[in-house]
Amino acid sequence: MGPVIAGLRQAARTLVREFRVVDGSGCIPGSTVPECHLLMELESRGTATASELAEIMLLEKSSMSRLINRLVSAGLVAAGRPGADRRRRPLSLTELGREKVTEIHDRADDQVRRALAFVPDEAREGVLDGLQQYASALRYARLSEAFHIRPIRSDDKAAMARVIRDVMTEHGAVGCGYSIGDPEVNDMYTAYQGSGSAYFVVVDDHDEVLGGGGVGPLVGADEEICELKKMYFLPQLRGKGMGLQLLRHCIHTARLLGYRRCYLETLDVMHQARHLYRKQGFHDLDGPVGATGHDACNRWMMREL
């Protein structure tokens, strides 16, 4: 891992230098890098408020206000009718601003085109895929800083039961045939203390339980198959990369426990979860495996470990 980290850091420094971020000239003449970024964000969104732009660009609100004021004064950005809170005024590009964005795109496209001339044709899609994955990973690393995974404790029972019931109710998974009615929901800690089982929770900086998931024997199936069990997140935890981290943690744990395959049951309405499972090697099955008792589930998946 050491050489990979060192290599990525070196590549990032090279990108920063070549994009001329260090000396501030990495945009068209007369505009700073933050100004160019803000103009392009407005182009892609049509309208946005100062608060929304500050969140997107990871800038302090005071810095964003100064940046917007410069662009408004330059006639590149138009501000909607002022309200009680200036940060909520709708902002949009002026005609001059749109011309400026076209100029920014032309310069950036030319820079990329000239750089790609030094990359073999067959390697270009790999460069794009690698950059997109790393950019996404950086974002998730930032968003997930306030959360961590730990084994479930006895005092987590009530909180985890609430998470499971809230999320399943949100998706309409209530009634006969759903895992919401399993006795273990009331005490996930005790249920996963046995051999071949493990359950983890995701907590914030205040140790508040916001999600969880685990692995255990698949009832009625080959002993080499485990089941991914009760992996649910509250809304405030979603979209921050913790689902991927917890899933990988569970898969790693399943390997350590000696399992060879991992099975799961889910619902057709849980689109994001199924997308995550597929990206991590799970494939769809035609029907259920084992005897979980959850006959209301209508999606079944498996992966090799």
CATH class of 2-118: mainly alpha
Asked if pLDDT for residue 84 goes beyond 60, the answer is no
Q: How far apart are CA 105 and CA 27, in angstroms?
A: 10
CA–CA distance, 179 with 266 (Å, rounded to integer):
10
Task: Output the pLDDT for position 161.
Answer: 97
Contact 225/167 with Cβ under 8 angstroms?
no
| SS3 call for 239 | coil
Say how far apart CA 265 and CA 206 lie, in whole Å: 31
Backbone angles phi, psi at 171, to 5 degrees: -95, 10
d(C-alpha 50, C-alpha 178), whole Å: 44
* Predicted pLDDT of residue 89: 85
Residue span(s) of the chain under CATH 3.40.630.30 come to 148-304
Confidence of residue 87 (pLDDT cuts 50, 70, 90): low
Q: Write the class of the CATH domain 148-304.
A: alpha beta
From-to residues of CATH 1.10.10.10 in the chain: 2-118
**Cα gap 108→88, rounded to integer Å:** 30
State pTM to two decimals.
Answer: 0.83
Mean pLDDT of 4-24: 88
Nearest to 301 by CA among 280, 271, 277: 277
User: Would you state the pLDDT for residue 114?
Assistant: 95
Other CB atoms within a 10 A radius of the CB of residue 174 amount to 13
Average pLDDT, the chain: 93
Q: Would the pLDDT of 281 be above 90?
A: yes
Is residue 175 predicted with pLDDT exceeding 90? no
